Every structure is written in C-alpha cells, then in structure tokens.
Chains A and B, each alone.
Chain A
Amino acid sequence: MTKTEKRNMVLGLLFISPWIAGFILLTLYPLISSAYLSLTDYSVLSKPIYIGFDNYERILVDKLFWQSLWNTFYFAALSIPINLLSAIFLAVLLNFDLPGKKIFRTIYFLPSLVPMVCLGVLWQWMLNGQIGLVNQALWPVFDTFNALFGTTLTPPNWLADPAYAKAGLVLASMWGVGNAVVIFLAGLQDVPRALYEAAELDGCNFWQKTIHVTLPIISPVIYFNGIMSLIGSFQVFAVPYVMTNGGEGPGRSLLFTATYIFNKGFEAWSMGYACAVALILFVIILTLTLLATRLSERHVHYASK
C-alpha cells in the first residue's frame, strides 16, 4: 500500500467507525450471544444454564412455533403479492397526466404515515364484524348477491374468525401501500419516453405497453420492494399485537413468529427458547433472501447504465 492508500484506509475506517461500532454492538454481538443463549435455559433473573440443543428439540415439536411460522408465511404469501400488485397498479394510474394528480398522490400516500399502533387500533375498529366500516361497505354487495342468487351469505367477522383474521390484517396493511406507490412512481418516471413511442409504432395498446415495456424496466424496483416487504412481513408485530389487545387472535390466527419470540422472551421469560426461535427466523429470512436474489438474476432486467 502506498502512503495515500494507507491514509485513506485509516480515514475511511475513521469515518465509518460509528457504523462499525453499531455493527459490532447491535448486530454481531446480539447474533453471537443469541446463538449462545439459544443453548441455555435462561429466565432473565437467573444465570443461563447450558442445556445443549434442548430448546431446538422442543421447538421441533412445538405446535405453537409451527403455527406461528405458518401464519407468518401465510401472511407474507398473501400480503406481498397483493401489496406489490396494487402498488404497481396505483402507480401506473397515478402516472397519467390527469387533473388533480397531486391531490390523488397525497391521498394515497397519507395512510402509510399512520403509526403502527394507531393503524392497529383503527383497523380493529374498522374490521368489527357487525359495526365496522368494512362490513358496512360490504353489506350492500352481499345483499345484492344474495337477492340475485337466493343465497344467505354474510360478510365475515374478520378479526373474530380465524379464517379471515389474516385477510383483515392484509386489508389493513394494504391501506399503507402508499409508500410503495411513491417508489414505483419514481421508477416509472425513469422509463424512457422513446421506448413507449417505439412500442406505439409497433401497435401496442396500453396493457401491452405496460407488460412489455414498463414492467421489465421497473423490475429492479419490484425486486427491491419485494425483498423489503418480505423482511417486513417477517417482523410483523405491532399491528396484530394492538389489534388483538396483546393477544394472539382467534384460534391463534394472528400469532406470528415475532409475536411468539416476544411472548416467549418477555411474557413467559424463557429467553433461551426465544433466542432459538429468533435464530431459526433469521436463518429462514437469510435463505429466502438468497433464493429471491437467485431468482432475480434470471428475471430482473438491469438496464446498463
């Protein structure tokens, strides 16, 4: 290394030293200590007692753990595609040069600013099976349908019904889709006009243009958002926690892995066990992200810059 290189190295490391400290204290140390604690029986007040792989063995047969994992996957599988699609859809519509588009953008964006706790409280109220606003809007639809086909269907009791509780949570999370809409809007503005014009010359209509021009070009943005919402959906905690008043939902349908870690660690005080669950969650997220990256290499189109 030359003298300048050495100097730069020292300077660079000095500048990033806050991050290095943070990385060691807030990421590395917790992960390592988590790995150790997961091999112990540890209830905060007493010293951790080494028990080998007991916690992991118990997790394997722990019905609640599997249910929490299933709920988490279910929620991710339901919410990510729905949220991505609706965000892209809204972004495409908002990208048109229409009168009042600024106002529309603001309206669609605002809900994403609502704090989680408020969101939980509000949607617990919105999703009440009898007097909630959601079902008030659905009743006319169901009434018409019933009148037409002679059925007696009723809107679901959302948060009181295990079959619909997660769908209710997805509705609540969709309300906050505005963040992703803004990202996609920015992505759309990057699409060169010339490409659209070329497609028009080839006789493409609006949807063909969207599918063949817009989507491939914004695919890196879609990928990035997909990953971020994947990670986000694996740490969903506050909204279901608040919606169920700190509970687990009907039939434990809103017991997510993050909730389970919290319950085990800070309600049952089995911190060793909670660490083991947390590590498993970490491995799952890691695997999924790597898989997604692999997949994206094949399907994501990166424009050469």
Chain B
Amino acid sequence: MPPIKILPITLISLGLVLLYSLVHNPAPPPRSDGRIEIEYWEKWTGFERDAMADLVNQYNASQDRVFIKFLSVSNIDRKLMLATAGGNPPDVAGIWSSNLSVFASNGALTPLDKKLAQSSLEENDYLPSVWQQLTVYNRVWALPTTPGSNALHWNKRLFREAGLDPERPPKTIAELESYNDRLTQFNDAGRIELMGHLPMEPGWWSANWSIWFGGDIWDGHSRVTATSEANMAALDWIESYPERYGAEALMGFRQLSGVFASPENPFFRERVAMVLQGPWMYNFINNFAQPDFEYGVAPFPTLREEDYGASLVECDCLVIPQGAKHPEEAFTFIEWLQRPKQLEALSLAQLKFSPLQEVSEDFYARHPNPYIRVYRELAENPKARIRPQMVTFNEFSSDMENAIDEVVRDEKSAHDAAEEVQNRQQELFKYKHQNWLQIREARLAEWDQR
C-alpha cells in the first residue's frame, strides 16, 4: 500500500483549526470577576464612537456589578434585526429614531414604558421634538443619546467672491436660487466648477424636502402625500436645476465629489457654497477643510417666509432589543446615561446639543461649536419636524431618492415622478397598514405584558 500523504495534510489542517478555536472564542466564558456582561452595539465610528466609549468606561469603573462591552457595528439596522431574529441580540443598541416604527411593529424591541414609570425619568425633561420621535403606537421604545437638526451651511469666502454679503444668508428659496445663480461657475469645457447649492448634496434627506416647503409626505395616519402641494413645490424646485444648469453638467459635477468624511467633500473643497447639514459639520470642517475655511450656519431657507425656522430634528437613540438577555441591567445603564451630566458630556464630545430641556449654564460656553445654539434653537422651534413615523418610510425614502434622481437627470417631469411615488407608496402603505391592523390587538397585548 502506498503511504497516504493526505493524512498529514488533514492532520495539519485540523491542528490549525484546533489552534484557532483555542484563540478564537465565539461564546466568551462568564467573566472571571463575576460581573454581568452587557453587549452594547453602536453605529458610530470615529470621534462619535470615542465619545461614547469614554462614558462606557466611566460606567464600568463606577460600579462592579455590570460590565458593558461596547462594539461599533456598521449597517446596524440590518445587523440588529438579523441578530434579534436569530435570538442573539445585544442588550443595548444605538439606532436612529427613524427606524423605531419598523422595529417596533415587527416586534423587535422591548417597550420601555413600565421601566420608565419606575424610574425618575420624565417626558417633560426632554425637548418635545426629541421625545415625539421616541414614541410610536403610544409607547416609548427608546431613550435619546444625541439629537441633531439640520441647517444651511454657507461658505463666506465664496459669498464674498461672488459679491454677496457673507453675513446675510438667503431666507427664502427664491433668494437661495438667486444666490445660486450668482455663485455657480462653469469652465470653458462646459463643466461646472462651482455650484452655489445642490439639492443632492449630501442627499440624506431626499424624502423630507417638503418640510421647507410647508408640508409633509404623510398625513400621520393612513395617507401618503407625495403629491401634496408642498412636496410638489419641492420637486418643482429640484426640477429647475437640470433646466438651469443642464443634466449632463450636474451628473459630471457629482462624479467629482469625494466621500463625505474627507477633504474631497465638495463643500470642504469649496466647490459647493451652500449645503443642508447638521452640527457634526464643525468637526468635519476642522478635520478636512483648509484652516482658513470660513462658514456660517443659519436656518435653511423656506418657500414661504412664515415657515422660516423649520428643520428636521433627528435623534440617535438607545433601544433594548426583544430577547435581550439582561434587559434590567441594560435599562439601568441607559438610565445612568440619561443623567444630565452624562448626556451633556456626550453632546459636548460629539459636538451636538443636549436632548434635555434644561441645559447647564456653562454648556454653551464650553461647547467648541460656535453655532451650536443655532441648531438647538431649530430643535426648540415649534416649527421643528420629525421624520414621518410611517412603517414604510424606508421604502418611501428609496422611491423618493430615485424620483429625485430621475428628475435631476431630466428623465421624468417632477409631476410624473411624484405621481409614481404616490401610487406605489400609497398601495404599499395601505397593505402594510391593513396587516398591522390585523395583528394590532395581539401586539398591543404582547407589549403590555412585557
């Protein structure tokens, strides 16, 4: 019989695997210090992550019963759902408030009402525009970490060069567009060198433009309103871009945009003079723009003067997934984070504002961002709006982005694009809503038990 050479290969491989499984331990043993381990997933990266990591370390040092294991997770909404469905969710997860309705209606979250009732936390402690987002189906699903609002950011140097008053941002859409025409420059080859404003930059709020046009895309109950007067006005406004600057030129311009968090971001590179953005911009401008970059922050222009001051308020928040192994300990940790001291420390480090009504006296003095009050006032403003808590919002948003894309590429009229979104989304919403009504009673009873 010939000697088998496969055997040694197999043995070596098996040895490697054994070695690996010794090094790699998928299910960590109980902690040697006897503390309960709480897994906390967070979507943040970079300095935002570091800010929370500091607090987690403080919490871990402050007591010896619980240990928080802090992990940064990309695509957190899908990963969290996969893990929850797989029966192995983290104990705490940091998601966006706009995902709450989908997660809650799918039964992926633990309602916090009972725990809140036993705690010292109260609705009145929080900004109404923030609290509103945490409540879906009359239940509270999350507690906030850091909110944000969005505002117009403009490049003062480019304003000056175009002969505009750098201290006077546009207040109406009409004004914005007259500025835009003065700022935008073409080169000899017909390429756009500089854009005054570009609605697709950064394109994160495509579904929400109607806010600045005095309306919304959902009636809050049963109807999608993509063809509402406000949303149509917004789409007509977007349609004017390819008409004025050319669809080809716009497409070429957008291809030259680097990724957001880099010096190649067109706003930092001073290729776009005005953008709709949030408080995090302070950090990115510091990191990526030239040291002499000069900018201002003001409410985004509105179609009608009386709407001026409207903005979209969003909130990063913490949830306890359904099936979490240590919900009580998780809540204790979240409750600790909700103390003004912790929330303000987090807001300061993440360069955002506090979600709480009360702000300590020196908060703004200590805040590095000179414009932080502008964002905070937008969130305090009664005109502040939140993302529609519509279970099909993600689908709507994707359709709307696509519609805007088609309009900008001059493939469809704003009217046709909006009609299409309306028909499709109304159907989808109706279907999901009917399904929801069927399981509603069971769900509510289920939630009340928890």
Q: Taking beta carbons and an 8 Å cutoff, which residues of A are in contact with B?
A: 41, 43-46, 49, 58, 63, 128-131, 154, 157, 160-162, 246, 248, 250-252, 266-269
Contacts and interface: CB of A to CB of B under 8 A. Distances in A.
Interface in B396-439: 398, 402, 405-406, 409, 411, 420, 424, 431, 435, 438-439
Interface of B: 75, 78, 81-82, 84-85, 102, 106-108, 248, 251-252, 254-256, 322, 394-395, 398, 402, 405-406, 409, 411, 420, 424, 431, 435, 438-439
Given A45-B108, A157-B255, A266-B81, 20 more contacts: A41-B435, A44-B106, A46-B106, A49-B438, A63-B420, A128-B255, A129-B251, A130-B256, A131-B255, A154-B248, A154-B252, A157-B252, A160-B255, A161-B251, A162-B411, A248-B402, A250-B405, A250-B409, A266-B82, A269-B102
B255 A129 contact: yes
B81 A251 contact: no
B256 A251 contact: no
Contact of B409 (A248, A251, A269): A251
A44 B406 CA distance: 34
B100 to A, nearest CB: 14
Contacts of A250: 405, 409
A154 B84 CA distance: 49
B398 A251 contact: no
A45 to B, nearest CB: 5
B414 to A, nearest CB: 15
B81 A157 contact: no
Contacts of A44: 81, 85, 106
A157 B106 contact: no
Contacts of B78: 266-267
B431 A58 contact: yes
Contacts of B431: 58
B402 A252 contact: yes
Given A43-B106, A46-B439, A160-B254, A251 B82 contact: no
Nearest to A46: B107
Contacts of A58: 431
A285 B106 CA distance: 33
Contacts of B251: 129, 157, 160-161
Nearest to B442: A46
22 contacts: A41-B435, A45-B85, A45-B322, A46-B106, A46-B439, A58-B431, A129-B252, A130-B255, A130-B256, A131-B255, A160-B254, A162-B409, A162-B411, A248-B398, A250-B405, A251-B405, A251-B409, A251-B411, A252-B402, A266-B78, A267-B78, A267-B394
A268 B395 contact: yes
Contacts of B420: 63
A266 B394 CA distance: 13
A154 B255 CA distance: 14
B77 to A, nearest CB: 8
Contacts of A162: 409, 411
A41 B432 CA distance: 10
By DSSP majority rule, is chain B's interface helix, strand, loop, or mixed?
Answer: helix
Nearest to A54: B431
Nearest to B247: A161
Contacts of A252: 402
B70 to A, nearest CB: 25
Nearest to A270: B432
Nearest to A255: B402
B408 to A, nearest CB: 10
Nearest to A129: B255
Nearest to B402: A252
Contact of A63 (B411, B424, B439): B424
B446 to A, nearest CB: 10
A168 to B, nearest CB: 12
A161 B409 CA distance: 8
A45 B255 contact: no
Contacts of A49: 438-439
Nearest to A157: B251
Most buried by A among B75, B82, B395: B395
Nearest to A262: B78
A46 B395 CA distance: 21
Most buried by B among A129, A162, A252, A269: A269
B319 to A, nearest CB: 14
A46 B254 CA distance: 42
B39 to A, nearest CB: 19
A129 B85 CA distance: 41
Task: Report the 10 A-B pairs with minimum CB-CB distance, sorted nearest first.
Answer: A44-B85, A129-B255, A130-B255, A45-B107, A130-B256, A157-B251, A43-B106, A45-B106, A160-B251, A160-B255
Contact of A268 (B85, B255, B394): B394
A45 B84 contact: yes
Contacts of B75: 246
Given A45-B84, A267-B78, A131 B256 contact: yes
Given A44-B81, A252-B402, A269 B252 contact: no
Contacts of A43: 106
A251 B254 contact: no
Contacts of A160: 251, 254-255
A40 to B, nearest CB: 11
A128 B256 CA distance: 8
Nearest to B86: A44
A265 to B, nearest CB: 11
B207 to A, nearest CB: 15
Nearest to B82: A266
A250 B439 CA distance: 37
A252 B255 CA distance: 17
Nearest to B75: A246
A246 to B, nearest CB: 8
A174 to B, nearest CB: 22
Contacts of B106: 43-46, 269
B93 to A, nearest CB: 15
A118 to B, nearest CB: 18
A41 B424 CA distance: 19
A267 B395 CA distance: 10
Contacts of B439: 46, 49
A269 B107 CA distance: 12
A268 B103 CA distance: 10
B405 A269 contact: no
B107 A251 contact: no
Nearest to B431: A58
A251 B406 contact: yes
Nearest to A62: B424
Nearest to B408: A250
A58 B430 CA distance: 12
